[in-house]
Amino acid sequence: MTAIRGDELPPAYPIGVPATDSRPAWTGEPESLIVTADTGDRLHYLDWGGPEPSPPGPPPLLLIHGLGHSGWIWASVARRLRSFTRVLAPDLRGHGLSDSPRTGYELESLAFDALTVLAGNGWGREVGGPAAAVCGHGLGAMIAATMAAIQPDSICAVALVDGGWEDVGEATGLTAAEFERGLGDPPEVLASMGAFLADRREFDPPSWDADQERAARATVEQKHAGHVAPVTRGFALRGCIDAMFGYQPLDVLGHVSQPLLVAVADSASADDEGQRERLLALDDVVRRRRELGLVAPTVERFAAAGHNLMRYRPAELSAALERLLKDAAALTSAHRRGGPA
């Protein structure tokens, strides 16, 4: 991929070319663990293992999934990066194997849940541990940015994967209620687990594997009649959507001083109006950060790729995250030595 760093951003962000997959994917199984939040809610996460963080080495990495998914959606990335650093992937509350309380779906609450996972592993300000890097996809990107804004000493780098830099209402032209009504699958897809998995496989057959099947299965539960239904209950989905529509990217990202990576899925043609608007929104973020004296993000565009970059471009995304972690480690080392960042 072609990266655009620092304050040298051109008017248009060029699209990079596919990278070579130089880091082999681990074939083992992650550990399935639970940490309990202050509210008493149990939060499930996958611990993919990896070397413990030790300066001047790379920081640990927390991977946060998007709306309606689970930590398993990160498997293709986690398998590549766990030989580089320790990698965790939680299930948000109301998702996967985490508890589904009636409340707590504001971005701040979801961010504190994720910070609890960090603290449970000895990382972050609350336990006097090292700062971690956090990467989020879609809704998870908004949570990642919120974590860095509300507890900056716990986060040393942030990655936004195809989300987190746009106002969702402006980007979609929808209200939260309209957005929610547009979600969901037709009855024939939910008629059986087999039908559901076949539908997910057809999104991109070459990238379908056992991990993708695990990720798909984690989003639904099979009923006695044989059909499947989403694991994420209506009230949790609604709460998360309301949080997404309340997110103000210029405000939140104006409080994120850490190194910032923005990964853009670019499946549209060059003259696509929607994609043009997305890049204009990113321009606004870059401009706002410059006004505040913050370093501009590193922007990487992934050509001919859908929203789920973890599935469609795992090698390239993993390489971009590895570079971010190296940058964060170098910056931390410079601060420890008392030198320039």
Measured CA to CA, the distance from residue 90 to residue 218 in angstroms comes to: 13
Of 90, 83, 26, 88, give the one whose Cα is nearest residue 51. 83
> How distant, in Å, are the alpha carbons of 48, 173, 212, 235, 282 from that of 276?
37, 15, 30, 33, 10
Count of other CB atoms within 10 angstroms of residue 7? 10
Chunk the chain into consecutive blocks of 10 residues (it has 341) and report each block's average pLDDT, rounded to whole numbers: 37 53 81 96 97 88 98 98 97 98 97 98 94 98 98 97 96 96 95 98 96 98 94 97 98 96 83 84 95 94 93 96 95 69 46
Enclosing domain of residue 85: 31-182+231-337
- Is 44 within a domain? yes
Overall number of domains in the chain: 1
**Mutual orientation of helices 107-120 and 139-150 as an angle, nearest 10°?**
70
**Helix, strand, or coil here: 25?**
coil
- Is 203 within a domain? no
End-to-end CA distance of the chain: 25
Measured CA to CA, the distance from residue 259 to residue 242 in angstroms comes to: 28
What would the DSSP string read from start to end of 26-69?
P-S-PEEEEEE-TTS-EEEEEEEE-PPP-TTSPPPEEEE--TT-
Contact (Cβ atoms closer than 8 angstroms) between residue 92 and residue 98: yes
Exposed, middle or buried, 19 (CB in 10 Å: 0-12/13-18/19+)? middle
- Is 195 within a domain? no
Give the model's pLDDT for residue 9: 39
Give the model's pLDDT for residue 8: 39
- Is 70 within a domain? yes
Give the model's pLDDT for residue 4: 36
**Helix, strand, or coil here: 136?**
strand
Give the model's pLDDT for residue 292: 95
In eight-state DSSP terms, residue 94 is: T
- Is 219 within a domain? no
Helix (H) or strand (E) holding 145: helix 139-150
Residues counted in the chain: 341
Q: How many CA atoms lie within 13 A of 174 on its CB side?
A: 14
Contact (Cβ atoms closer than 8 angstroms) between residue 87 and residue 81: yes
Give the model's pLDDT for residue 12: 56
Of 264, 274, 260, 248, give the one whose Cα is nearest residue 313. 264
- Is 14 within a domain? no
Tell me, rounded to whole angstroms, the distance of Cα 47 from its chain centroid. 16
Contact (Cβ atoms closer than 8 angstroms) between residue 227 and residue 195: no
Give the model's pLDDT for residue 338: 65
Measured CA to CA, the distance from residue 92 to residue 42 in angstroms comes to: 10
- Is 296 within a domain? yes
Tell me, rounded to whole angstroms, the distance of Cα 134 from its chain centroid. 8
Render the burial of 169-197: b for 16+ CB within 10 Å, e for the rest: beebeeebeebbeeeebeeebbeebebbb
Measured CA to CA, the distance from residue 144 to residue 103 in angstroms comes to: 20
- Is 20 within a domain? no
> What is the token pair recorded at 281?
């929104």
Give the model's pLDDT for residue 80: 97
What would the DSSP string read from start to end of 98-126?
S---SS--SHHHHHHHHHHHHHHTT-SGG
CATH of the domain at 86: 3.40.50.1820
